[in-house]
Amino acid sequence: MGLERKFGLLLGPLAFLGIFLLPDLMPGKELANPVIAVAAWMVIWWITETVSISVTALLPLLLFPILKVMPMADVGANYGSPIVFLFFGGFILALALEKVNLHKRIALTIIKITGTTPNKVVLGFMIATAALSMWISNTASTVVMLPIAISVISLLIDDADGFTKGDKNFALSVMLGIAFSANAGGIATVIGTPPNSVMIGLLENEYNIEISFLKWMTLGLPFSLIMVTICYLVLVKWMFPNNQLQFQASREVIRDELQKLGPTTGKEKMVLAIFGVTVFLWVFRTLINEIFPGLRLSDTIISMMCAIALFSLPYNFRKGDFIITWRDTKKLAWGILILFGGGLALARGMSVSGIVDVVASAIAGAELSILITASLLILLMLFMTELMSNVALVAVLAPVVAGIAIGLDIPILYLLIPVTMASSCAFMLPMATPPNAIVFASGYIKVHQMARAGIILNLISVALLILVFQFVVPALFN
């Protein structure tokens, strides 16, 4: 265990005790000290990653009942929130796509369609990665794309002229393009990246505000497309141009990889059909509920229908062959589901203790304009997420941002949506997101190269999100 983690292991509980024993931080709010103390412990352990961030998320389940913040049943309810099961269904769908190798076939087909000139190869990798990240974890989509990218890059290393500057720029563009488009692609859907679900869970649990799958996509998908386009242009036209680079062998690599997969199997077709039906129901849920009001479909119900169908519809009835079995769920990101619950429990604690109300009142009395406050929050979230888990960060800051919105007397959604989206726009450092770390580990990228491109994209993201706050969210969620 490194020094930082040892320090964090001790500092977390010490900070908890120190804050808990202080005189009332918020006079009249007797539960404020215990909740702030628990939050401090969680933030320290989340930042230092002394223990798994999912284990840290269990602290409210232990401490809130002991400190009489909430009864155990009320705390536990957050870990079984509908949003947790929405993501569970999404995880099962992702598992099925990966198990039958459909995700790889989709990615290779997209790259084949976009073309095999150098810049088109980069674009193909980015589109394929972003498309996958809408439905499976950005980590999984990056892991799928990386070996294919390395195969293409190795052709340049082994060619007659060696590994030239143009070749190196191409390698950098492909690798960074995969990481950046994985980050941006997840923003497009509710299940694409965990921070989206943490925010939507908070809105449903605390404020009875529901954002449908389709409603989110009307905002998230265009933003993702714009960000992927900007990332592409910054990488290949500005930062790492590969002018005059010519190679045809990449076409053979893509073709060979597709041939290894063989013809589309019956299981792939079955998963694709269930996937298609699920997306159709998510997109047209509101319309279906209007036509059949008795159904009362929700995004979580649709997600669970998909998961149960994948477990229970046999591919071969006679042999009892199913797409997904419970054994497959060993690969499921159970820790993320616990992390959602911990974030929602912490948010609930902040609400019942009155902390959110105090923050709202303080902001209402401040002199800063709404636009400046929103811009600072977006900037804070985006650059803080370079240093700690974006899910943990949203779990801590989302209730506070909601309180600030109340204090500013603006709809909660107007402020919370762009600030949450900012948490997925970390492009600067390898430790910021799993995709950044995975491509950095390939050995083709140095930290200063990622940071140089990343700082530009971070600042562009801030500017775009301010525009989203000022114009787009009020138009879509009025």
The average pLDDT across 150-156 equals 75
Strands 321-322 and 314-316 turn out to be antiparallel
Residue 304 has what pLDDT? 93
Q: Is the pLDDT of residue 190 over 80?
A: yes
For the chain, what's the residue count?
Answer: 478
- pLDDT digits over 439-462, tens only? 887 888 888 898 899 999 999 999
Backbone angles phi, psi at 314, to 5 degrees: -75, 140
Lowest mean pLDDT among 62-66, 319-323, 356-360, 468-472: 356-360
Q: Is the pLDDT of residue 156 over 70?
A: no
Sequence-ordered alpha helix ranges (H) in 100-240: 102-114, 118-133, 138-157, 165-185, 194-207, 213-233
More confident residue, 387 or 372: 372
More confident residue, 364 or 260: 260
Is 192:220 a contact under the CB 8 Å cutoff? yes
Residue 459 has what pLDDT? 95
DSSP state of 24: P
* Residue 161 pLDDT level (bands cut at 50, 70, 90): low
Q: Is 408 helix (H, G, I), strand (E, B) or coil?
A: coil
- Buried b / exposed e across 109-126, counting CB within 10 Å, b at 16+? ebbbebebbbbebbbbbb
In percent, the amount of the chain with pLDDT more than 70 equals 94
Residue 465 has what pLDDT? 97
The average pLDDT across 209-228 equals 94
Average pLDDT over all residues of the chain: 86
| C-alpha distance from residue 470 to each of 374, 375, 407 (Å) | 9, 10, 17
Q: Is the pLDDT of residue 404 over 70?
A: yes
DSSP state of 366: S
Q: What predicted TM-score, i.e. pTM, was given to this entire model?
A: 0.82
* Residue 419 pLDDT level (bands cut at 50, 70, 90): very high
Q: Is the pLDDT of residue 219 over 90?
A: yes
The average pLDDT across 21-50 equals 86
Residue 116 has what pLDDT? 67
The average pLDDT across 97-126 equals 83
Angle at alpha carbon of residue 197, lines to 473 and 451, rounded to 5°: 80
| C-alpha distance from residue 401 to each of 38, 298, 432 (Å) | 19, 26, 21
Sequence-ordered alpha helix ranges (H) in 385-446: 390-407, 412-422, 434-440
Residue 262 has what pLDDT? 86
Residue 160 has what pLDDT? 53
The average pLDDT across 424-432 equals 85
Contacts of 73 (CB under 8 A, 6+ apart): none
Residue 455 has what pLDDT? 93
Is 153:106 a contact under the CB 8 Å cutoff? no
Stretch (H or E) spanning 340: helix 334-352
With both helix axes pointing from N to C terminus, report the angle between 165-185 and 138-157 in degrees, rounded to the nearest 10. Answer: 170
Amino acid at 414: Y
Lowest mean pLDDT among 109-113, 192-196, 344-348: 109-113
Angle at alpha carbon of residue 437, lines to 193 and 246, rounded to 5°: 100
Question: Residue 351 and residue 400: Cα distance in Å, rounded?
Answer: 9
More confident residue, 247 or 347: 347
Residue 68 has what pLDDT? 92
Nearest partner of 193 among 144, 139, 229, 126, judged by Cα: 139
Q: Is the pLDDT of residue 157 over 70?
A: no
* Residue 229 pLDDT level (bands cut at 50, 70, 90): very high
DSSP state of 188: G
Q: Is the pLDDT of residue 388 over 90?
A: no
